[in-house]
Amino acid sequence: MRMFVAGGTGALGSRVVRLLAQGGHQITATARTDHGAQVIRAMGATPVDIDLFDFKALRSAVRGCDVVFRLTTKIPPLMRMRNAEAWAETGRLRIEGTRLLNEACSDEQVGACIHESITFVYEDGGDSWLDEDSPVSHGGAEPLRDALEAEVEAQKFTRRGGRAVVLRFAAFYASDSSQSLEMADRARRRRLALIGPSRNWFSSIHVDDAAQATVAALRAPAGIYNVSDDDPVQLATFMTSMARAAGGRGLPKLPSIAGGPALGVTWRYLRRSQRVSSARMQRSTGWKPTVHNAREGWIRIAREWQRVTESKG
């Protein structure tokens, strides 16, 4: 099949491009730099540098495609996430980018569009499991408001006669993820802390498994699907597992009252308890995560980081 991947050089997008190319598909993927274009070519795909808000360019890019993937975000650095304005570009990519891409796909009669979203949109579920029918809310947090509005835009493609698949991903982590690397660096320098008890459930997904799920979504009927590992852990477990992987000496602790000043807009949803189930995705596509929980995932990442360190030494 012919496919277009918007966001082809990101942590998720690059893995998806590689898997699709290995599957024998004809892939065009966005790349904003010469280095990114080289990476895309090395994976057996064709790079294209386009303005994702240029409707004519989008129509040209998706013309003749069977499937289009929107995997475009620009997540701010860890220490800027607290500021609502730092999410403005990601919000525009999610909302306006989705609308323009879907309209281009409709005009060019593309069969399916697969869109990236997030599980953080779920309301606090306590100890209960959350599925795709669980209540959602942005709670005044701009990143969640934008994600939910983008989902509405994405699903319009189905009403136009196409097949829109919205993937709500749990928190990403991987050895080469910029956020994972930044968290690890701060943990080693004890500039990252646990806030309050941190006993809320925190769902995550290793980016390798997220990429496999994205490709598996080619088999999914139109709808919304959670993509999370099988064994969510409490936030404290996720963070301390990360700190151990980074070789840190543990994390400092701050009282809950410090959450707002320290984390800003992200505190409105990071304190939610979200025990997310991906059962619908697994039933519909046959996909299953290979990393069952963050404890296993961070051990794997620690080994990968160790190999990198040894190769440099």
In whole angstroms, give the CA distance from residue 125 to residue 135: 9
Length of the chain: 313
Identify the pLDDT of residue 313.
67
SS3 call for 26: strand
- What is the per-residue pLDDT across 220-267, written as a single tens digit (0 to 9) for each? 999 999 999 999 999 999 999 999 999 988 899 999 999 999 899 999
In whole angstroms, give the CA distance from residue 155 to residue 148: 11
Identify the pLDDT of residue 186.
93
149-160 mean pLDDT: 97
The proportion of the chain whose per-residue pLDDT surpasses 70, expressed as a percent, equals: 100
**Amino acid identity for residue 305 in this structure:** W
For residue 222, which of 136, 122, 116, 112 has the smallest C-alpha distance? 112
Residue 226 corresponds to which tokens in the numbers above? Answer: 């959670």
In whole angstroms, give the CA distance from residue 147 to residue 150: 5
Residue 43 corresponds to which tokens in the numbers above? Answer: 């994976």
Say if residues 70 and 4 touch (Cβ distance below 8 Å).
no
**CATH T-level topology, domain 2-312:** Rossmann fold (3.40.50)
Q: Phi and psi for 204 in degrees, rounded to 5? A: -140, 170
Say if residues 243 and 236 touch (Cβ distance below 8 Å).
no
In whole angstroms, give the CA distance from residue 213 to residue 207: 10
**Helix boundaries (H) for 64-199:** 88-107, 142-159, 178-188
* Overall pTM > 0.85: yes
64 to 51, 247, 268: CA distances (angstroms): 19, 49, 42
Average the pLDDT over each of 28-37, 83-92, 152-161, 210-219 and give the range with the smallest value: 83-92
Identify the pLDDT of residue 193.
94
272 to 127, 216, 309: CA distances (angstroms): 11, 29, 36
Taking residue 135's Cβ as centre, other Cβ atoms within 10 Å add up to: 10
158 to 18, 112, 161, 166: CA distances (angstroms): 27, 9, 5, 11
178-192 mean pLDDT: 93
CA geometry: angle 165, 166, 171, nearest 5 deg: 140
Say if residues 227 and 278 touch (Cβ distance below 8 Å).
yes
Residue 210 corresponds to which tokens in the numbers above? Answer: 């997220």
- What is the per-residue pLDDT across 194-218, written as a single tens digit (0 to 9) for each? 999 999 999 999 999 999 999 999 9
Say if residues 28 and 45 touch (Cβ distance below 8 Å).
yes
Does residue 136 register a pLDDT over 80? yes
Identify the pLDDT of residue 302.
96
Domain parsing of the chain, residue ranges: 2-312
Interaxial angle between packed helices 294-312 and 235-245, expressed in degrees from 0 to 180 and rounded to the nearest 10: 20
SS3 call for 239: helix
- What is the per-residue pLDDT across 80-121, written as a single tens digit (0 to 9) for each? 888 888 889 999 999 999 999 999 999 999 999 999 999 999
